[in-house]
Structure 1
């Protein structure tokens, strides 16, 4: 335990983060694993698996160790429904997800109580990333204009989720460990960029912290009300901006339109209920607000490639 805390302090110092103000809170963290891999000047990699005994947060200041870079955080989250309701504005999405932001952007780091977090955080230098992507960099040009303040959240594919779990659960150092971790970090970035290329097209514009907070409030409220879609007026009131602007910023941050995102969350929850609970297809459909079970079946098949019953037979243990 002391070794993990020492590693965290070493990382904080390298990133120019002061932990003095939250010294007592750091003691609340229980680490299953913490590994920091220094691949500078191109990359810095942190692998951690932890649980906090109390909820706390701290502000991460702009990072100066890399002049121009991206901060990419892959997270597997394991939380109870009760814990999920207690988390605030930019709540931890309880789906496996990844967040991307420029390294110069200040952000809040949140440790919710009794939530198991598996996290792979990659700080990567921008020119190195461009060379990695090569001639395809133009397809993701918005990522390389770090002067604009942007914030992106993306659902992780099963391949990314499995890779994060693999790295978070490694118990021994690998032969050629630096080469291993560099390879795995680039594999995660490759899988992420493959996902981003499937996003709904939208113009990427400068976002303020207030705008980011507003779309997270909308997203979190949608996630808490999957059995009934919010009306247009409710969405506009929550976001505090006109409908056109809200839809544009929502798509820019989350890569999907609001209604498409809502249906994606419903299908993900449907899959969890079918796999983990002793519920029938009709019970799951009605629980998620579907009065037309045929539509529920078609939507589920669109997302998972199988009708709910066949998917359940294949995946339920």
Structure 2
């Protein structure tokens, strides 16, 4: 049975543990390790204040039981959390191993924070103030402006797969060879590198939307979006590229090039990713068996579905379904 506590009670437990914190680096009093509360599990949280408005946390702990923390509406800073292991869910996002959560400033609505005890939690996270973000970027790109929302609006929050490039930077950060001021500068550099990589999906999505207006006529863009609509309407029996091109009044080459320009992938690739996203949603919210979900989203071969799901989300569909049922 899960342990359910209030956010205030959880904060009180960590405040007690702050009194037992220890310095990691004798040359840096802003680098401390805080023991994980013994009432909840075992482990530690390393907290490094790189600047007044830039904090880095390295968490590693094992809970005794699944944990449910109820919290009131609260204001967020920009935060990026990379999950090396462990499963978390709150009112805005669900994060699995091999994923990272990118969230912006604004409001995190009242809800619950859920953390499963099936494996240790290992996470690298950093918090940055909006003023520090704006100072770093200068004029914030349009695609990144959802990260900076007023304090009366719901925060932007999304999860993405951790790329190999991000994994390299995380490894370098965790294996930092320096102490004192060199360590702080090294870690700060790695944090900014991670931030740039973490926000790249937003920039790529923005470029995909901008490119068609420069290279394609508005009529062609409309036809390509019509092709996308047909694909999703015929999820069970999608048309071939030739048939789809005929249905929207384009030749197959124009459709192929235009679709990639608009959506950043091929028609088959888009359909494949959409099916997997639908499967994840069905596994998270329903009680269907894996075979039933696979068939419902258009996969006739369970083994192929399981392999594709694992490749995209880093977990087997059966394991993912069981994790979600524990949260319901």
- Taking structure 2 as the reference length, what is the TM-score of the superposition? 0.47
RCO greater where, 1 or 2, for CA within 8 Å and sep 6 or more?
A: 1
- Taking structure 1 as the reference length, what is the TM-score of the superposition? 0.49
Structure number with the higher strand fraction is 2
Greater Rg over alpha carbons, structure: 2
